[in-house]
Amino acid sequence: MKRILVIDDAATVRMYHRNILEAADYVVEEAVNGIEALEKALIQKMDLYLVDINMPKLDGYGFLRRLRSEDMEQAPAIMVSTEAAPEDQRLAFQSGANLYLIKPIKPAQLLSHVRMLLGEAAQ
């Protein structure tokens, strides 16, 4: 079963994403910020990251940059933002995101992107 790390400082947002992903049989891990996310990613292999941008201590960009510089097997990352500014998108991809979404994300949309990034058949 594929493991997805949901990274957001808001508990409700994490819960919302967890419900959607677990209903589709993914295993979900959580982290409140980029540092905790790094720790979890170093301890356990993740298949995908769903990462918010604005978080305390280490934000989404910082997390991805540090993650991508680690000598470990890398996994795709969906960066989630509240804004759609073009420079933010560019920065997201530069940091190492594979996809950039604006929240709130609808369930079907999230699942479709997740499946695509994990190389799974569409449903």
Partner 1 sequence: MRTDKNDITDDDFQKFREYFYRKTGIDFDLAKRYFVDRRLLERIEATNSGSFRTYFNKLRLEASGLELQQLTNLMTINETYFAREEYQFEALVNSLLPDLIKRKTDTKPIRIWCIPSSSGEEAYTVAMFLLERWPGINKWDVEIISSDIDTGILIKARAGRYSARAVHHLPRAWLQKYFRPIKDEFQISDELREAVEFTRVNLAAPADTRSYRNFDVIFCRNLLIYFDDVSRKAAAETFFDALNPGGFLCLGHSESMSRISSIYTVRKFPSAIVYQKPLESR
Partner 2 sequence: MALIRALQNPSEETFGHIGEREKLLLDLDDSDPAKRRWAARDLLGHAEVSVPLLARLNSEQDLSVREVILTSLTRIGDQDAVTGLVDCLRSEDAALRNEAIEAMQSLPEAVGPMMQGLLADTNADLRIFAVNILESLRHPDVEAWLIAVIETDRHVNVCATAVDLLAEVGTPASRAALLGLKARFADEPYIQFAADLSLRRIDAH
33 is written with which tokens? Answer: 């910020």
Instruction: Work out how close the CB of 12 gets to partner 2 at its nearest, in angstroms, rounded to a whole number.
Output: 5
What is the number of alpha carbons within 13 Å of residue 121 lying toward its C-beta? 1
* 57 near partner 2 (CB under 8 A): yes
DSSP 106: P
User: Going by C-beta distance under 8 Å and a sequence separation of 6 or more, which residues neighbour residue 106?
Assistant: none
Q: E strand or H helix at 79, and its extent?
A: strand 77-81
Site for partner 2 in 89-118 (CB under 8 A): 103-107
Q: How far is CA 86 from the centre of its chain?
A: 19
Query: Between residues 8 and 29, which has the closer beta carbon with respect to partner 2?
Result: 8
**Stretch 16-55 residues interacting with partner 2 (CB under 8 A):** 16, 19, 53-55
Site for partner 1, rule CB under 8 A: 9, 11, 31-36, 38-39, 42-43, 57-58, 62, 66
- List residues near partner 2 by CB under 8 A: 10-13, 15-16, 19, 53-57, 59, 61-62, 82-83, 103-107
